[in-house]
């Protein structure tokens, strides 16, 4: 089947679990509110750390989406994965009982998988002994639990994997799922990212390397992508899962089509485990690869949802990369850094931001970069500062960059 013409891929379902809202409409309503969900950590005692803020998901109840018996067997990471997938499948009006489920697969991304739950169980072990440890621990903590639990939930036997490529994980999962459909290995893919990292050791590790903001006295203004006064990222949690389908089958069944997913590129800086390549050269190459894959010219891009992590090093290098790829056209392209809303959910962030791009294309509104108060000379693009903007972009690009020098980029086209 790989010798056949490339098949187009539609985004037909969106599931989301984020600090600003649940589900497709909850996410969109949260974006339109233009308010940050970052606050003081409540999940555990963060007082030992220099950073004490995060973006927590408050209103998620697993049994609203998953059978109670099954939900009990999943940790928070697993619950996020399955629940977001359930939302996406429902949103796509996809009746999997009538599908050839060998032609339906699942691909997910997560930087840390179930490590937060492992922390909790280690505490049980140290205080109460091995009999206090959840017998399903080994099945919960490995990253592959995300896509495998989705496959089990829906009985789908197509291509299945979960990558752990840091903060680019969700974006890469969606990109690899695109390839599975495009080249004929599957007709439908359930793809995205999930992360549940808000546990003391995980959180503390990032605090130790001074990667996170210390704006503890003003948490809602702590995540400020591309702003001159940014001082680090804010950790978040959540998930987003998309249903991807071969274009013609989606149209023939009357599925809602939010956007066409048309390009994917990925590279590695081969430079440093935490610091991006300052020139942004390999991030730029990932963008070019995605554009070439989509057969879209750089001058056709009219919206970018940036990685925009709010760190001193990432934001200037991403700005430089965008300028390398778009040239003079970069001056005319609106760029959103939406992590100001919901923090940085690590491997889930790229999937959340792909969902945002699809909704922006479908609904004609670009979310702002909130908290962007002070221009930075090294970050000099149109960042849709402070307030959203009505627009009708034709092509959107979304970037994700992660520890280890991972770069990933997706290109989407408005469904005409």
**SS3 call for 106:** strand
Decide the pairing of beta strands 303-305 and 395-402. parallel
Predicted pLDDT of residue 3: 52
- Pinpoint the alpha helices (H) of 92-135: 115-128
Give me the mean pLDDT over the 375-387 stretch: 97
Out of 148, 167, 202, 379, which one is annotated catalytic?
A: 167
Per-chain mean pLDDT for the chain:
96
* Catalytic residue (choose from 65, 202, 262, 344): 344
Domains of the chain: residue spans and CATH:
9-252 (3.40.47.10), 263-414 (3.40.47.10)
Cα separation, 155 vs 63, in Å, equals 19
Residue 221 scores a pLDDT above 50: yes
What per-residue confidence (pLDDT) applies to 141?
Answer: 86
Assess whether 271 carries a catalytic annotation. Answer: no
pLDDT at residue 4 in the model: 62
In terms of DSSP bridges, do strands 303-305 and 335-336 run parallel, antiparallel, or are they unpaired?
parallel
Q: Are 91 and 14 in contact (CB under 8 A)?
A: yes
Task: Kindly write down the DSSP assignment for every residue of 198-240, as one continuous string.
Answer: -SHHHHHHHHHTT-B---TTSGGGT--TT-TT---B-BB-EEE
- As a dihedral over the C-alpha atoms of residue 145, residue 146, residue 149, residue 150, rounded to 10 degrees, the angle is -160
Q: Residue holding tokens 């609106």?
A: 334
Whether 1 has a pLDDT exceeding 70, the answer reads: no
Report the alpha-carbon distance of residue 18 to residue 238 in Å, rounded: 5
Task: Say how far apart CA 235 and CA 39 lie, in whole Å.
Answer: 11
CB atoms within 10 A of CB 131: 8
Stretch 248-263: mean pLDDT: 97
pLDDT at 379 over 50: yes
pLDDT tens for 103-152 read 999 999 999 999 999 999 999 999 999 999 999 899 888 889 999 999 99
Ranges 97-101, 190-194, 320-324: which has the least confidence:
97-101
Identified catalytic residue from 65, 202, 262, 307: 307
Q: With beta carbons less than 8 A apart as the criterion, state whether 304 and 330 touch.
A: no
Cα–chain-centroid distance for residue 112? 14
CB 386 within 8 A of CB 372: yes
**Burial profile 259-273: b = 16 or more Cβ within 10 angstroms, e = fewer:** bbbbbbbbbbbeeee
User: So what's the pLDDT on residue 168?
Assistant: 98
Under DSSP, is residue 299 helix (H, G, I), strand (E, B) or coil? helix
Instruction: Tell me what pLDDT residue 140 has.
Output: 87
Q: Is 307 a catalytic residue?
A: yes
Q: Convert the pLDDT of each residue in 52-67 to its tens digit.
A: 999 999 999 999 999 9
Q: What count of other Cβ atoms lies within 10 Å of the Cβ of residue 127? A: 8
The residue behind tokens 């089990």 is: 152
Residue 311's alpha-carbon distances to 170, 228, 279, 357, 369, in angstroms, are 20, 10, 16, 22, 14
* Model pLDDT, residue 2: 46
**pLDDT digits over 13-71, tens only?**
999 999 999 999 999 999 999 999 999 999 999 999 999 999 999 999 999 999 999 99
As a whole-number percent, the residues of the chain with pLDDT over 90 amount to 97
Q: Please write the tens of the pLDDT for every residue from 267-278.
A: 999 999 999 999
């Amino acid at each position: 089947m790989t010798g056949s013409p490339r098949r187009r891929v539609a985004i037909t379902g969106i599931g989301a679990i984020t600090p600003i809202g649940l589900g497709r409409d909850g996410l969109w309503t949260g974006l339109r509110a233009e308010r940050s969900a970052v606050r003081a950590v409540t999940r555990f005692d963060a007082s030992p750390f220099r950073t004490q803020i995060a973006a927590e998901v408050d209103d998620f109840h697993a049994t609203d989406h998953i059978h109670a018996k099954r939900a009990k067997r999943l940790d928070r990471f697993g619950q996020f994965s399955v629940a977001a997938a359930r939302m996406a499948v429902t949103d796509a009006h996809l009746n999997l009982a009538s599908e050839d489920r060998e032609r339906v697969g699942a691909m997910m991304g997560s930087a840390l998988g179930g490590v937060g739950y492992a922390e909790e169980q280690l505490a049980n072990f140290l205080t109460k002994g091995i009999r206090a440890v959840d017998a399903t621990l080994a099945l919960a903590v490995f990253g592959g639990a995300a896509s495998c639990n989705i496959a089990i939930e829906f009985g789908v036997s197509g291509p299945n994997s979960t990558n752990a490529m840091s903060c680019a994980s969700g974006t890469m999962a969606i990109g690899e799922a695109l390839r599975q459909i495009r080249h004929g290995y599957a007709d439908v893919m359930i793809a995205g990212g999930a992360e549940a990292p808000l546990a003391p050791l995980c959180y503390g590790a990032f605090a130790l390397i001074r990667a996170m903001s210390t704006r503890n006295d003003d948490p809602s203004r702590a995540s400020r992508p591309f702003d001159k006064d940014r001082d680090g990222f804010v950790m978040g949690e959540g998930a987003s899962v998309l249903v991807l389908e071969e274009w013609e089958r989606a149209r023939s069944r009357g599925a809602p089509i939010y956007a066409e997913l048309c390009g994917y590129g990925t590279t590695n800086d081969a430079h440093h485990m935490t610091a991006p390549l300052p020139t942004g050269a390999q991030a730029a190459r990932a963008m070019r690869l995605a554009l070439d894959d989509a057969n879209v010219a750089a001058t056709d891009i009219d919206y970018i949802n940036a990685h925009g992590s709010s760190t001193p090093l990432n934001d200037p290098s991403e700005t430089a990369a965008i300028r390398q790829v778009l040239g003079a056209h970069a001056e005319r392209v609106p760029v959103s850094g939406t992590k100001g809303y919901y923090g940085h959910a690590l491997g889930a962030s790229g999937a959340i931001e792909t969902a945002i791009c699809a909704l922006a294309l479908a609904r004609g509104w670009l979310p702002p970069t909130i908290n962007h108060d002070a221009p930075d000379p090294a970050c000099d693009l149109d960042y849709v500062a402070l307030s959203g903007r009505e627009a009708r972009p034709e092509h959107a690009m979304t970037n994700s960059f992660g520890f280890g020098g991972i770069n990933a980029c997706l290109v989407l086209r408005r469904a005409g």
